[in-house]
């Protein structure tokens, strides 16, 4: 990841030195995150041979907020736009058939809260002076994370996951420039899992967790 980040940074710097125009600004994003969890669709048995839970295929989107700054280097209709965004997101994981201490089956919801520093480096093309298409890597640095749970809490001790400090993903989308206002619609896909394990109570499972989202942003150039 470090080599990719440095290569992208050097590309941006070299492009900036030859840029015909330069601008910067601030922006705010609102997104709908989805935590993709692979290879753990059914948590069949714990150490006592009892059925623990079934994890639903898709997690429920809650909301992502992002706030940050960007710079844009233009050259012959092509631009490079590095950004630095503080990101706070929530997403929900729903488990079925949790057996509590009384032998009753319940559903349990785990809400994951994640704070990150995202550094997208977008490369794009302008059309008709207002329309844009762009794509590029996004480097994410996890600042803090927490999982809260609700439902049959007596059925387990807690949900835990070991999250990586940094991951790489991809962002792509379209944008519109109207005077000093920038509007973007982007999709983010994770190249790397943010965590590869999930612990329920005292039992650990392999789990490929990737955070994907759709984002709408509004920015202003200065």
Q: What is the pLDDT of residue 82?
A: 94
User: Distance between CA 137 and CA 157 in Å, rounded?
Assistant: 38
Q: Which residues of 23-53 are buried (b: 16+ CB within 10 A; e: fewer)?
A: bebebebebebbbbbeeeeebeebeeeeebb
User: Distance between CA 77 and CA 97 in Å, rounded?
Assistant: 56
- Cβ atoms within 10 Å, residue 19: 18
Give 187: exposed, middle or buried? Use CB within 10 Å, 0-12, 13-18, 19+.
middle
CATH number at residue 51: 2.40.160.20
Per-residue pLDDT of the chain (222 residues; tens, 9 = 90+): 555 544 555 555 555 545 567 889 999 999 887 776 665 544 544 444 344 444 544 455 567 899 999 999 888 778 999 999 999 987 777 666 555 556 666 666 677 788 999 999 999 999 988 999 999 999 999 898 877 766 545 445 566 677 788 889 999 999 999 999 999 999 999 888 787 777 766 666 666 777 788 999 999 998
106 pairs with which residues across the strands? 98
- Listed residue (106, 103, 79) closest to 95, CA to CA: 106
The count of domains in the chain is: 1
CA triple 201-207-209, angle to 5 deg: 115
Name the residue range of residue 116's domain.
Answer: 2-221
- Listed residue (35, 36, 39, 34) closest to 205, CA to CA: 39
Q: What is the pLDDT of residue 49?
A: 38
| Pair 147, 112: CB distance under 8 Å | yes
3-state secondary structure of 107: strand
Instruction: Find the length of the chain.
Output: 222
User: Distance between CA 138 and CA 119 in Å, rounded?
Assistant: 5
123 pairs with which residues across the strands? 80, 135
């Amino acid at each position: 990841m470090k080599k990719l980040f440095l290569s992208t940074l050097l590309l941006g710097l070299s492009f900036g030195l030859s840029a015909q125009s330069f601008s910067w600004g601030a922006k705010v994003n609102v997104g709908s995150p989805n935590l993709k969890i692979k290879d753990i669709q059914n948590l069949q048995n714990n150490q006592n041979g009892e059925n623990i839970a079934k994890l639903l295929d898709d997690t429920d989107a809650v909301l992502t907020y992002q706030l940050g700054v960007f710079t844009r280097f233009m050259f012959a209709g092509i631009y490079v736009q590095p950004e630095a965004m503080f990101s706070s997101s929530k997403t929900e994981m729903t488990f079925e058939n949790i057996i509590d201490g009384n032998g009753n089956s319940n559903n349990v919801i785990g809400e994951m809260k994640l704070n990150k520093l995202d550094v997208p480096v977008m490369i794009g093309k302008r059309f008709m002076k207002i329309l844009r298409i762009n794509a590029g890597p996004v480097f994410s640095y996890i600042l803090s994370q927490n999982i809260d749970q609700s439902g049959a809490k007596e059925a387990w001790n807690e949900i835990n996951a070991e999250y990586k400090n940094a991951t790489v993903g991809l962002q792509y989308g379209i944008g519109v420039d109207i005077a000093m206002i920038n509007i973007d619609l982007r999709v983010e896909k994770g190249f790397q899992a943010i965590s590869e394990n999930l612990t329920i109570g005292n039992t650990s499972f392999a789990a490929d967790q990737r955070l994907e989202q759709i984002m709408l942003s509004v920015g202003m150039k200065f």
